[in-house]
Amino acid sequence: MGRIVVISTGGTIASRWQGSGFAADADGAEVMATAPLPEGVSVEVVDLFSVNSPRLTTAHQLTLLRTVHEVLADPGVDGVVVTHGTDTLEESAFLVDLHHHDERSVVFTGSQRPMGAADGDGPGNLYDALLTASKTRGLGVLITFAGRVHAARGTVKAQAVALDAFADPSKELLGKVGFGKVTVLRTPVRPEPLPLPAMPEDPEGPPRVDVVVHHVSGDAVLLNAAVAAGARGIVLVGTGAGNATPEVVDAVKAAVADGVLVALTTRVAAGPVTEIYTHGGAVDLVAAGAVPTGTLRAPQARVAVLAALLSEGDAQERVQVLRRVLASGGSVLVAA
């Protein structure tokens, strides 16, 4: 029998009508009561918090990370499922994946329709997540949604309201769930897991990491404002393959000189950041000290920067941690 621990954090899967809109309201036991259990699976519930996921903070995510590790310290647990709001699920899942060193699966899921909806997708997604957690090993942290299994790394919310909400625009599907079976199509290549970070002792909380998007007529004002506001990390979202302007390059160079960790991603949905262009392009931004994020987009790039900042060591060692975190993301195809 598979013993699965479900960590409940809120989100649409736990949401009820509040008079003017939906909000997380139900506890984990109520969420679990909506879904059938796969044969041979038993469930224990941990109610961690119940919030709409746009309201999550880094402190919430670090608490979730530590809770997953505490649950897996019990060798009798066969896997973990995390119920989570879809808006920031990709960020929490990636943070847990960066620190996940266990063969047992941690599977994130949620829903696009609220609890109790006649056409709700929560019960089916939860069933699939429980099945995936009980049947898979050695794949890291997963996202199970709408009959599909995704690796945490690289997966984004690709649909705002459609039921098939998640995808990795740059990679092939990891697996599928159907007819009581989990079919794994590839094995993700993951970097060496990071040690579990200590909870920040700074009274101001975890380090601030901001995201700045480049666009036509974009300048360095917002990037400089982020530094002035105390950001210790910045994700620059460039155009194309990761491009901006000479003015932004100068701002990146100054920020890096001040010890700010800068990562470079792109606002394009798929494909890697690539050093092709100068005159403010990725060639110059990387030369100025920005670390290219490959195919990771802004939300997960921000998590990578945060994880590097939470690691031990000086500024240069944290740059190396960030590079190690980003230097992966391939896959090994598995015969279906």
Enumerate the active-site residues: 12
| Angle subtended by helix axes 298-310 and 315-326, to nearest 10 | 140
Residue 41 · residue 134 · CB < 8 Å: yes
The Cα-based distances of 55 to 85, 86, 91, 302, 334 in angstroms read 10, 12, 13, 16, 38
**Region of residue 147 (left: phi > 0; alpha: psi -120 to 50; beta: else):** left
Q: Which residue has the tokens 């949905």?
A: 269
C-beta neighbour count of 300 within 10 angstroms: 26
In the numeric block, which tokens belong to residue 28? 């984990």
The Cα-based distances of 144 to 36, 89, 124, 132, 265 in angstroms read 16, 11, 10, 8, 25
Helices (H), the chain: 28-32, 58-72, 89-98, 122-135, 221-228, 246-257, 282-287, 298-310, 315-326
Across 79-118, b (16+ Cβ under 10 Å) vs e yields bbbbbbbbbbbbbbbbbbbbbbebebbbbbbbbbbbbeee
Specify the amino acid at residue 22: F
Pairing of strands 2-10, 79-83: parallel
Helices (H), 195-280: 221-228, 246-257
Residue 210's nearest CA partner among 198, 228, 192 is: 228
Pairing of strands 186-188, 331-333: antiparallel
Residue 67's nearest CA partner among 90, 44, 33 is: 44
